[in-house]
Chains A and B, each alone.
Chain A
Amino acid sequence: MTGTIGTADAPAPSTSHGERRQNNPNTRARRERRAAYLFLAPNLIGLTTFVAIPMLMSIVLAFFSVDGFGGYTFVGTANFERMVNDPLFLSSLGRTLIYLFVLVPGLFVSGLGLALLVRSQFPLVGLFRTALFAPNVISLVVIALIWKFLLTDDVGFVAKILGRVGITPPSWLGDPSYALATVMVITIWFSMGYYMLIFLAGLQDIPREYYEVASIDGAGPWATFRNVTWPLLKPTSFFILLTSTIAVMTGGLEMLVVLTNGGPANSTTLVIYYVYQQAFVYGEFGYASAIASIMVLILLAWSALLFALTRGGRFTHAD
């Protein structure tokens, strides 16, 4: 491609070919442009209709009250005022922050820890990596059902095994003070393998020489981790912090719908579940959109903070 553009810039020789050479690149550029737009058209139309417009709509809808279907009434900032005075929303927001502050570090540490454990070669390591990642390919609905079964009160597998060693377990999903923690443990269980793989790829990109030098210097495992692995892994860490926050904040809704339905006593009603509930259980599309737009704002603020702290994920000091 570069070659063709290069000839276009070159002065046209004044031979009989001159005219053709001068015109050709122009028509070619036009044809290329037209082809490009045609190639892009289906995606641009689709992304506009099903991603961009919904995105804009969610902002616009936040200022409307939507009753049933088609009846849109402009209500100004009423939805936002309602939000500030809605104890259920405020508690779901607090819960989501707890959820974030536990799960983002939890996924980071478990993913990195597993990656460090399975990075070297030892018997069956490939099989173990597969086993650790496997829960990730199963749907959240099936995951929710498996755990509902395992954690059944009194007669479930976990209750029976704990009962054998003399522990009477709480009602993991039925007791409001345990349900959110249970959901968090399940989330770590099925997502840690994914973060492990990404960390593993980051670890494998670190040149071996660095470790050889560290070992010649007599650095112990902790010093090696501090001075070699950690700094060189920073781009991966940045990526994981960013994507896990988005995943934790907006994902997992399927599991909540199947596993707890936001309960008991709203103890697992996270913001994303509240949005879903307001829209599709109570038909409050406008209010739901207002809440969703607050979520997007929080995510944007967090991404901006991460980018600012890390200079766009480049960690320029490393250069």
Chain B
Amino acid sequence: MPTDTAAGTRSTPTPPAAPRRRLIRRRSHRKKTALFTVVGIISIVTIFPVFWMFTSSFKGADEVLSTNIIPNDPTLSNFDYVFTSVPFARYMFNSFVVSATVTVIALFFHSMAAYALARLRFRGRDTIFIAIFSTLLVTAPVVLVPLFLVVHRLGLLNSYAGLIIPAIFSAFGIFLLRQFYLSIPAELEEAAILDGCGYWMIYRKIILPMSRSIFAALAVLFFLANWNSFLWPLVATTDQDLQVVQLGIASFQDQHSADWNYVLAAALVAAIPTLIVFAFFQRRIVESVKTSGLK
């Protein structure tokens, strides 16, 4: 341990005299003020474009390009227009169905695989794990073309199934859940086996209930990713009835390129679920981003 050697070779530091301590405290106070100012400014600049979308979508057509921070004449008519001129509620419904279904099935499947990889012993386990893990390097845009051809061959283009099924399978959740399951103590399972429980029962009665908090974190990530997904729906659907919300706002912008008050209102409506989810589950998102980054 470097700390030990460091402490050992150095003489114990003399406690700082009182004036010096005060100096340090004053200096740290100054440092905090400086940090507060610098980080505050960067944060405001960073969040400003999002805020600007928010405030501008309440402005009328003649005010939307003004630099008024608060609308002079706030109106809800933009939202009204968005929902009446195009089937925006339908887009949101489609996105919700796809995102929610993918999230639920993915959590279920991923946790099953993760349980097997973390808690069961069988030949080929490490090979399978490495194979699954290596698919993490393959990002969606790179295989977009062949994936499209596969889904076409399966006859799933232009269907909910075509939007949902390919989105379920990713190594990310399996990997994260496996790391989590590795840390569960074995005693509970051993007791269950002695009681004659099968593996399915152990998974249902022990593993799943223990996964609640990590499920919540993953669910937020999965839902956001699918709600925000644009590329796959763009190539996999042409049917108006299957249009998801991100496609909806993109084509809405194509048709109303100069009507920024409408376009921003549509963008805000599409972004609001993600912002709400973020506001509520902020800590979980942060935690899962951190763990996904480091383990």
Contact = CB atoms under 8 A, between A and B. Distances in A.
Interface of A: 1-5, 29, 31-33, 35-37, 39-40, 42-44, 46-47, 49-55, 57-58, 61, 66, 69, 114, 117-118, 120, 122-125, 127-135, 137-142, 145-150, 152, 155-157, 160-161, 189, 193-194, 197-198, 200-202, 205, 207, 209-210, 213, 216, 235-236, 239, 243, 246-247, 250-251, 253-254, 257-258, 272, 275-276, 279-280, 285, 288-289, 292, 295-296, 299-300, 303
A206 to B, nearest CB: 12
Nearest to B247: A141
A253 B231 contact: yes
A58 B145 contact: yes
B293 A201 contact: yes
Given A134-B278, A135-B49, A157-B52, A140 B200 contact: no
Interface of B: 2-3, 6-7, 10, 13, 32, 35-36, 38-40, 42-44, 46-47, 49-50, 52-53, 56, 65, 67, 109-110, 112-113, 115-117, 119-123, 125, 128, 132, 135, 137-152, 154, 165-166, 168-171, 174, 186, 189-190, 193, 198-200, 203, 224, 227-231, 234-235, 246, 249-250, 253, 260, 263-264, 267, 270-271, 274-275, 277-278, 282, 285-286, 289-290, 293-294
Contact of B112 (A40, A207, A210, A235): A40
Contacts of B278: 134, 137
Given A135-B49, A139-B274, 11 more contacts: A36-B120, A43-B132, A43-B174, A54-B149, A55-B143, A139-B228, A140-B228, A145-B249, A149-B53, A198-B294, A272-B141
What are the nearest 8 A-B pairs in CB distance?
A: A139-B228, A46-B169, A57-B146, A54-B146, A39-B116, A201-B290, A35-B199, A198-B293
Contacts of A117: 35, 38-39, 42
B146 A149 contact: no
Q: Which secondary structure characterizes the binding site on chain A?
A: helix
A285 B147 CA distance: 11
A96 to B, nearest CB: 13
16 contacts: A1-B119, A33-B122, A35-B200, A39-B199, A40-B113, A53-B150, A58-B142, A117-B38, A132-B46, A132-B47, A137-B285, A138-B228, A142-B271, A148-B253, A207-B3, A289-B146
A44 B128 contact: yes
A191 B201 CA distance: 42
A57 B119 CA distance: 33
A139 B271 contact: yes
B146 A120 contact: no
Nearest to A122: B32
A140 B113 contact: no
Nearest to B35: A122
B89 to A, nearest CB: 18
B12 to A, nearest CB: 10
Contacts of B46: 131-132, 134-135, 189, 193
A10 to B, nearest CB: 16
A146 B3 contact: no
Given A69-B152, A198-B294, A114 B42 contact: yes
B147 A50 contact: yes
Contacts of B112: 39-40, 42-43
Contacts of B7: 213
Q: Which has the most chain B C-beta neighbours within 10 Å: A146, A235, A280, A292? A: A146
B16 to A, nearest CB: 10
A296 B166 CA distance: 21
Contacts of B49: 135, 146-147, 150, 189
B46 to A, nearest CB: 5
Contact of A52 (B113, B119, B135, B137): B135
A131 B47 CA distance: 6
Given A51-B138, A303-B137, A138 B36 contact: no
Contact of B146 (A32, A58, A140, A193): A58
A146 B147 contact: no
Nearest to B234: A257
